[in-house]
Chains A and B, each alone.
Chain A
Amino acid sequence: MRKFLALCLAGSLALSTAACGSAQEPEKKEGGGGREKIVISCGLADDSQVVVRQKYMDEPLKKAFPDVDIEFKMYNDRQSLQVEVAGGGGPDILALDGPTDVAEFAKSDRVLAMDSYAQQYKWDELFYDWAYGSCFYNGKLYSLPTSFEGMVLYYNEDVFEEHKWQVPETLEELEALMAEIKEAGIIPLSFGNANYQGAVDWLYSTFTSCYGGPEAVKSALEGNSKFTDPAIRDSLQMMVDWWKAGYIGDNSSQAVTQEDMIAFFAEGRAAMMINGTWATSQLGTVYPDCNWDSVIMPPPQGKDPIFPLATGGGWSINANSPNPDLAAEVLNFLFTNYEDHYASIVEANYQPYPLKTFEMEKIKGVEEKVYEQYEMLMDAQTDNRIGYCSWTFYPSEMRVYMNENTDSVFLDALSLDEYLEKSQSYLDAAIEAGTVPILP
């Protein structure tokens, strides 16, 4: 009896380890009639958004590649995508959250190094240097940046008008204004991360870059100074103080969802919001009646305003893909299909690819305040007044640690110094391993 059981266990164990350990044979994915198939992953979108996507992405792709079945597959979380990829399957083109995300896949050879394709299609000439450079890991190119974005301060014009408040131009004005707003019973800065804890990285990225200063951040990320040094430490202390005073998120941000965060801002429950340039599309579709505008985060008196930059996502080629050459071709098409791309920005508020050839004229049809945001982005780039957002420029483990523990600092469960020390230790490890993204 025992022998029999032991055999069974051994059998199933052998079967599964054999499946795990051996190299995976990619399956031949063929559509009807010997057509090739390319699957591109994307995030959740509701019906109206899907229709829009079909107009600017699916249709043009169909026209350009008539013999290929191109499908966009929605994934509602990272976990299912990861299990698929780990299991030897998954879409051909992966839409990931940015270079730090890609780094994880690159570490385990789950995405292809695209240097040969880059040479073939001359991608290095296509993208902004800083965006392109951030996509390298260990000296190889693993993804292509799909958007560029930055952090701004949104304010609700109606609320400001009603209370006769002035848009602050310096940090000092902002602080004074927030106290006034709170007095009036309104939330100064809307914030909520209940359903996406990682949203805190918007906050600390903004504070370190704008108020710690980009030089301080850059030098720390390059190993010449530390996060525990006064410049960065003080900026984060200020962030914590603001949170505790109720200026950020009304002391309840952990219980407020992202949707609520925008809703509060749009409905006037909150007067301002620190958010990214990507929020304009949500504001536009869900709250068209909201009168909002945005400015760069007000700098301390006498200093220049800084625009924290990021690439919001990246496309990589799955190492399991049976058609990598075709996938590269599709990628190249997507990035060079200028007409549809500009149209999508103007008509559907899509984010622009960080292309050198980006011309402001072409997006003149966009709403004025959105256009102004792009102008701010461009100017900041030319004048080199850029800051560094964590999801593009910080090493992945450091970012994960900070995302998970910022709330603890807000809630006094963790001291700021301990938090900074631990973050620094992750940064040190990454510098040693050579896995810190390249900074512009």
Chain B
Amino acid sequence: MKISKKKLIPYFFIVPAFLLHACIVTGPALSTLVMSLFEWNGMNQAVFIGLQNFKEIFTQDKIVRLSVIHNIQWLLIFITVPLFLGFTVAILVSQLRRSQMFFRTVYFVPYVISAAVAGKIWTAYMNPYYGLNQVFGKMGFEKLSQVLWLGDPKIALCSVAFVDNWHWWGFIMVLFLGALQQVDSNLYEAARVDGANRFQELIHISIPGIRQTIAFVLIMTIMWSFLTFDYVYIMTNGGPANSTEIMATYIYKNAFVKYRAGYANALCVIQSGICILLYFFQKYVSKKGGLEDD
């Protein structure tokens, strides 16, 4: 009797969470996936068209390609800049003693701000007439003050990424800091006795010590780059001229502005598909690289 109870216990632990999630998210998501095989305008008049939506996505739709490219650009920005910043600052901050808490606290603050508020605030700062450009002009940086941060198709995506970055890197930093502090300090002492300098400590102790967290952060960043929505929606909504169009905003437009919910659902399938692929790809690479324990 004891054996079977023991075997069941893990399930008792995990199934409640699983059930709640499945009922609210996965179940409905599956039904919507089914709707991707239909031409539907979101209000109940679905016509079954099989894989036609997908055909359209792959052959005719230029904007989808553009969106995916933008998501990839977003991905490249986000697996480098915030990770680098977060990691570097975490290392530096972990070396501080008295002021550590202060720095750590302030760095995290942008993360707790909602995207709506942060987006609005930065949109105001980037306003060509009422924003930072005024300041640049007054300081004499003429060229800088003429830049249309959100209006120039070439840099709009970077501007939005900049803002999301401002919001996000503090979070990464805190995760890394927490992980760093979990590393056994005995290891550091042993290394110092052996004559290692700070840099070597970094490479041989710190990084391996937090490799699980690095892996976690990497995979989260990669997946979220394809799902990101809030900042782009609030600040540019895919504009100007589709230069910041990403999958999520395009899906939103199809579902709620163009009344093409079936098509939007097909796009969702593609979007999740990409995410899942990336997840498995990353898992494979991490295993090979020895990043993950499991």
Contacts and interface: CB of A to CB of B under 8 A. Distances in A.
Interface in B121-155: 126-130, 148-151, 153
Interface stretch (A77-85, A121-129, A353-361): A77-85
Contacts of B240: 254-255, 407, 411
Interface residues of B, number: 38
A85 to B, nearest CB: 6
A8 B22 contact: yes
A407 B239 contact: yes
Interface string A226-267: 000000000000000000000000001111100010001000
Interface in A50-109: 78-79, 82, 85-86, 104-105, 107-109
A366 interface: no
A9 B30 CA distance: 9
A408 interface: yes
Contact of B150 (A17, A82, A194): A194
A411 to B, nearest CB: 4
A84 to B, nearest CB: 10
A79 B229 CA distance: 15
B259 interface: yes
B264 to A, nearest CB: 12
A408 B242 contact: yes
B242 A413 contact: yes
A8 to B, nearest CB: 6
A20 interface: yes
B43 A108 contact: yes
Interface in A380-407: 397, 400, 404, 407
Nearest to B27: A12
A7 B50 CA distance: 26
A8 B151 CA distance: 49
Given A86-B43, A400-B257, A408-B242, A254 B30 contact: no
A8 B25 CA distance: 13
A332 interface: no
Contact of A255 (B22, B27, B127): B127
A252 B128 contact: yes
A411 B23 contact: no
Contacts of B178: none
Contacts of B27: 9, 11-13, 15-16
A281 interface: no
Contacts of B41: 104, 107-108
B129 A260 contact: yes
Contact of A12 (B22, B44, B153): B22
Contacts of B148: 252, 254-255
B31 A108 contact: no
Interface of B: 19, 22-23, 26-28, 30-31, 34-35, 41-45, 126-130, 148-151, 153, 236-237, 239-243, 252-253, 256-259
Interface of A: 8-9, 11-13, 15-17, 20, 78-79, 82, 85-86, 104-105, 107-110, 194, 197, 252-256, 260, 264, 269, 397, 400, 404, 407-408, 410-411, 413-414
A86 B42 contact: yes
A85 B43 contact: yes
Contacts of A107: 41, 45
A195 B47 CA distance: 33
Given A78-B256, A78-B257, A260-B129, A13 B43 contact: no
8 contacts: A9-B27, A12-B30, A15-B27, A108-B45, A110-B44, A194-B239, A254-B151, A407-B240
B26 A82 contact: no
Contact of B31 (A16, A194, A252, A410): A16
Contacts of B126: 255
Contacts of A8: 19, 22
A89 B142 CA distance: 54
The 5 lowest CB-CB distance pairs between A and B, nearest first, are: A12-B27, A255-B151, A254-B240, A108-B43, A408-B241
Nearest to A406: B241
Nearest to B25: A12
B103 to A, nearest CB: 34
A408 B241 CA distance: 4
A86 B44 contact: yes
B241 A407 contact: yes
A9 B239 CA distance: 39
Contacts of B256: 78-79, 82
Given A255-B150, A255-B151, A256-B129, A82 B31 contact: no
A260 B31 contact: no
A414 B153 CA distance: 13
Nearest to A8: B22
B239 A254 contact: yes
Contacts of A85: 43
Nearest to B124: A257
A268 to B, nearest CB: 13
A13 to B, nearest CB: 5
Nearest to B256: A79
